[in-house]
Every structure is written in C-alpha cells, then in structure tokens.
Amino acid sequence: MHRSRSLGALWPPLLLLLLLLVAATGAAGALTEDEKRAMVELHNLYRAQVSPAASNMLRMRWDPELAAFAEAYAQKCVWGHNKERGRRGENLFAITDEGMDVPLAMEEWHQEREYYNLSAAACDPGQMCGHYTQVVWGKTERIGCGSHFCETLQGVEETNIQLLVCNYEPPGNVRGQRPYQEGPPCSRCPPGYRCEDSLCEPTTGLGEAQDFPLRVTEVPPTTATSKTSAEAPDKPGWKTQQSSGHAWSPFPGLWLLLPPLLLAGFF
C-alpha cells in the first residue's frame, strides 16, 4: 500500500480503478480466465443435471480456436448471428452497463428448459428454446466464447453493451434431432468414453482437464438453485422455429438484458 504512494497522488486511485476494470471484464471486455472456466463448468453442471436424465451427454471442454472465432465476431459488435459461423452452434447474450455476467447469461439460456418438451422434441409455441437445447446438446463437445464491450451494437439502440458470443462444436439444434437421448446417465456413452459425474468424457486424449483443471472455480450460488421441474407452460401463439447449428432458423433467439427489464429479441 505504501509503495503505491510513491507513484504520485493520482496513481493509486487510477491504478485501483484500472485494476478493478480489468478484473471485472478483462481488457476491452474480454473474458477472464475465471469467466472462461465458469462458462465450461456451468455448461457441464447444467448438462449433468438435465431432467429427464441423459444417457449420452458428453462433457464439454474449452476450445481456444472456437474462443478466438467467437471473440473475433464479438468484436464486430453486431446483434445477430454470425452468418459465417459455418458448422458451429452459437449462443449470444448482451448486457448493459454492469459488464459481463457469465452465470446470468447461462441462467438466461438455461431457463428456456421450461418451454422445452424432450419427448415431443418441441418448444412451446411462441417461446425460444434454442439456447437451452444448445447448452444441453449431448454431442456438443467443444465450446469457445468471446466477449467484447461495444459502445454501439449494430441492431440495438442502447449503447455501451457487453456482448457475449459462444460457439459450439459439433453444433447443436440440428433439425429432426433431440438434444440428447433420455436414459440412465452414461448408459450410452460412445466407445472410448467413460462416465464421470453423469457425463461422458474421453478416456484418453484431450480432456477438459488439460485446459481447465476441474473444480478450480466455485460454482456461483445463483446456479445452484436452478429450478428443478420442467413444467409445460400453456402460452398460446405460433410455433417458433429453433435456431440450429448449420440449418439455422430465420428466428435465432437472442437475449438482450437491459436493466431492469429482460427483453427477448426476435429477429
């Protein structure tokens, strides 16, 4: 503390502010290592907890190349799906002012489970389920996300928005497929995979542990209290086409969080 005084009267507060900013959002709003870790762990937490249980849910791991791809797109500050994402799944989230909030983004995406009926493989009319189904897409094994602070975000009137882009491989939301196969956890893991905490993970080769050691980050409390049931709501309306990995829909569901209201963006 005394050392910083020698830097001059202005320095300590400036330095502190800078440190806080960097700690909160990373440079230019990039995700911190902790945030990346939390992103992977929250995905795997939600994946391990699906109800009904999944027989073939793979463990997701961080993919630096996907992350670089997502980051590059986030830096373009466009509110809409990346048309050049190829065979990659994609979830977007935007929040104003407070900076990126990974657990909140995950919660928003995950809460769509209330509208999704696995046995019917259908989303309730007028609702979005595509974020949820990507999060719990059993065959999706790699995730990479990028975040960027956008003073202006194309397609949105609000300014100073923190944009989050997550890309997934293999992509979820493939038409005609369910996110996962129901059954006892891990009862249908692919060959070469073993069961760990209700998720299938490779016995050899690349494991998530190489990128992010497990249990380094505590799971934020907000996620521990996820609702347990998947009730079927009764909202009337038209049936939403869900966004998909390569055969993507004309209505990619996007979330934009504007305090204090949560707005669903239909594009």
Ligand X SMILES: *[C@@H]1O[C@H](CO)[C@@H](O)[C@H](O)[C@H]1NC(C)=O
Minimum CB separation of residue 233 from ligand X in Å reads 9
Question: Where are the strands (E) in 8-158, listed by range?
Answer: 61-62, 89-96, 116-117, 122-123, 142-152
Minimum CB separation of residue 228 from ligand X in Å reads 14
Distance of CA 214 to the CA centre of its chain: 18
Minimum CB separation of residue 263 from ligand X in Å reads 27
119 binds ligand X (CB under 6 A): yes
- Residue 233 neighbours by CB distance under 10 Å: 11
Which of the residues 179 through 218 are near ligand X (CB under 6 A)? Answer: none
117 binds ligand X (CB under 6 A): yes
* Piece in contact with ligand X (CB under 6 A), picked from 104-112, 113-121, 173-181, 187-195: 113-121
Contact 210, 149 (CB under 8 A): no
- Residue 99 neighbours by CB distance under 10 Å: 14
* Piece in contact with ligand X (CB under 6 A), picked from 25-33, 51-59, 74-82, 114-122: 114-122
Which distant-in-sequence residues (6+ apart) come within 8 Å of 10 by Cβ?
none
Q: Give the phi and the psi of residue 226 in degrees, each rounded to 5.
A: -65, 145
Q: What's the rounded Cα separation, in Å, for the pair 259 and 266?
A: 18
Which of the residues 120 through 159 are near ligand X (CB under 6 A)? Answer: 120
Size of site (CB under 6 A) for ligand X: 4
Minimum CB separation of residue 181 from ligand X in Å reads 16
| Closer to ligand X by Cβ: residue 117 or 222 | 117
Residues that bind ligand X (CB under 6 A): 117, 119-120, 232
